[in-house]
Amino acid sequence: EIVLTQSPGTLSLSPGERATLSCRASQSISSNYLAWYQQKPGEAPRLLIYGASSRATDIPDRFSGSGSGTDFTLTISRLEPEDFALYYCQQYGGSPPETFGQGTKLEI
Amino acid sequence: EVQLVESGGGLVRPGGSLRLSCAASGFTFGAYTMYWVRQAPGRGLEWVSSIISSSDYIKYADSVKGRFTISRDNAKNSLYLQINSLRAEDTAIYYCARVDYYDTGYFDLWGRGTLVTVSS
């Protein structure tokens, strides 16, 4: 099973700043099958990025994903108030099961 | 509107059973692999079970194998999860999620979830 470790656990920033979230895998993820999700309190997760760097439909271009192999990054270029939420990475390139990271809380 | 709506959660005693449902609308439900994913209070996301479009291939997490049964009815655009022998550690919000059209494995649509609480 591929274990995903997200860092930091909590990231405290202000609107307008740049956020960099990390997701590290215990082994290489084939085909860069790595996704990022945003979750706000009381809401379902929302797909942001798939294939490590492809933005999902209707996701603003201030969100970007990068990385390969075992190290992946989600960057939010200029934080908007609505961006403060929980963020999870997920791998879907390894043998089952698909696994999630433990999450990064982005707070003001 | 493209959406998934879960129902069937509630408070149940240890050892009890529940049947969760997920109603799909706005897309061709029968074309997609579907998952159940849960989130325990204050915890992260955990894959529970999955079923391909034809129901021919089903997977379960080790933590629920033998107790949970996933099924679907494509004619009714519905996904189900029968959960038996419930334990306190099964307390969670249960989400149904749709895998992307090309079945690569990321979840492009989620429901809002249904809460299962296991307590005496």
Q: How confident is the model over B23-65, as pLDDT tens digits?
A: 999 999 999 999 999 999 988 899 999 999 999 999 999 999 9
Q: Where do we find the tokens 């915890």?
A: B43
Task: Give how far B66 is from chain A: nearest CA, Å.
Answer: 17
Please state, in angstroms and rounded to a whole number, the distance separating the CA atoms of residues B45 and B62: 15
Closest CA to A9 of A66, A65, A88: A88
Of residues B45, B108, B109, nearest to A88 (C-beta): B45
pLDDT at B97 over 90: yes
Under DSSP, the state recorded for A93 is S
pLDDT at B18 over 70: yes
pLDDT of residue A41: 87
SS3 B47: strand
Candidates A47, A55, A87: best to mutate against B (most CBs of B within 10 A) is A47
| Mean per-residue pLDDT over chain B, rounded | 95
pLDDT at A94 over 80: no
Task: Give how far A42 is from chain B: nearest CA, Å.
Answer: 8
Task: Give how far A85 is from chain B: nearest CA, Å.
Answer: 13
pLDDT at A47 over 90: yes
Task: Give how far B45 is from chain A: nearest CA, Å.
Answer: 6
Q: Is B76 part of the contact surface with chain A (CB cutoff 8 Å)?
A: no
- Look at A37 and B61 and tell me if their CB atoms are within 8 Å: no
Which residues of chain B does A37 touch, with a Cβ-Cβ cutoff of 8 Å? 45, 107
Amino acid code (one letter) for A48: L
pLDDT average, residue stretch B5-10: 96
Q: Where do we find the tokens 């609480």?
A: B117
- Look at B104 and A47 and tell me if their CB atoms are within 8 Å: no
Total beta-carbon pairs less than 8 A apart between chain A and chain B: 53
Neighbours of A61 (CB within 10 A): 7
pLDDT at A96 over 70: no
Percent of chain A predicted with pLDDT > 70: 97
Q: Is B111 part of the contact surface with chain A (CB cutoff 8 Å)?
A: yes
pLDDT at A95 over 70: no
Q: Side-chain half-sphere of A91: how many Cα atoms within 13 Å?
A: 30
pLDDT at A2 over 90: no
pLDDT at A97 over 80: no
pLDDT average, residue stretch B75-91: 97
